[in-house]
Amino acid sequence: MKKGIGVGIEDFREVIREDCYYFDKTNYIEELIKDKTKIKLFTRPR
């Protein structure tokens, strides 16, 4: 079975259950904490 993109899925459990692609950005947490900028902009596609 091919993996899906998971458009519109917001629940991680459903992403796993539906076997969709996802990007784990856990490694960026340390970088965000150490970054001294006052404003951070997080965007996501809708």
d(CA 13, CA 41): 26
- In 3D space, the residue among 8, 7, 4 whose CA is nearest the CA of residue 21 turns out to be 4
Contacts of 32 (CB under 8 A, 6+ apart): 40
d(CA 16, CA 38): 34
25 in Cβ contact with 41 (< 8 Å): no
Closest-CA residue to 18 (of 31, 5, 27)? 5
pLDDT of residue 4: 87
pLDDT digits 0-9 by tens, 3-36: 888 888 989 999 999 999 988 888 888 988 899 8
